C-alpha cells in the first residue's frame, strides 16, 4: 500500500513511501533530523538491515542501534494500522452476518413452510 506524503516529506526522496517508511520519515523529522539528511539516514538504515552487507561497521554502533529502534517503532505502528484495518473488516463482516443473516434465514423458512 503506497502512502502519498504531504510536504515537506514528498520532497525528501524520489522513491515512494510505504506505510512504515512514511512513519519512519515522520519520526526522523520529529526527532530533528534535517530533511536534507533523511535520504542518507534511510540509506544507513538499509545498510544496517541488509544481511548481504559485508561490513556493517561503516555505521557507528550507537547510531545503528538508534536507527534500528526507530525502525522497530515504525514497524509496530504500521503493524498496528494493519491490525486495525483487519479488525474493521471483521467488524463489518460480523455486523452483516448478525443483521443480514436472520432475515435471509427467515425468508428461507417462510418459503419452505408455504410449500410448493
State residue 9's pLDDT score: 39
d(CA 24, CA 73): 8
Q: What is the DSSP string of the chain?
A: -EEPPPTTGGGT-SSPEEHHHHHHHHHHHHTT--GGGHHHHHHHHHHHH-TT-S-GGGS-HHHHHHHHHHHHHHHHHHHHHHHHHHHHHHHHHHHHHHHHHHHHHHHHHHHHHH--
Q: Do the Cβ atoms of 78 and 23 come closer than 8 Å? A: yes
pTM to 2 decimal places: 0.58
Q: What confidence tens digit (pLDDT) does each residue in 14-59 have?
A: 444 556 677 788 888 888 888 888 888 888 888 888 777 666 567 7
In the chain, where are the structural domains located?
2-114
Q: What confidence tens digit (pLDDT) does each residue in 67-79 have?
A: 888 888 888 888 9
Confidence category of residue 116, pLDDT binned at 50, 70, 90: low
35 CB neighbour count, 10 Å cutoff: 15
The strand pairing partners of 18, in sequence order, are 2
Amino acid at each position: 500500500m503506497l502512502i502519498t506524503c504531504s510536504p515537506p516529506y514528498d520532497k525528501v526522496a524520489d522513491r515512494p513511501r510505504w506505510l512504515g517508511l512514511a512513519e519512519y520519515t515522520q519520526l526522523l523529522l520529529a526527532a530533528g533530523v534535517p530533511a536534507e539528511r533523511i535520504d542518507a539516514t534511510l540509506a544507513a538504515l538499509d545498510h544496517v538491515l541488509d544481511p548481504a552487507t559485508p561490513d556493517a561497521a561503516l555505521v557507528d554502533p550507537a547510531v545503528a542501534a538508534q536507527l534500528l529502534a526507530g525502525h522497530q517503532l515504525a514497524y509496530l505502528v504500521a503493524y498496528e494500522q494493519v491490525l486495525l484495518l483487519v479488525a474493521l473488516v471483521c467488524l463489518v463482516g460480523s455486523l452483516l452476518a448478525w443483521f443480514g443473516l436472520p432475515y435471509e434465514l427467515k425468508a428461507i423458512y417462510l418459503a419452505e413452510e408455504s410449500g410448493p
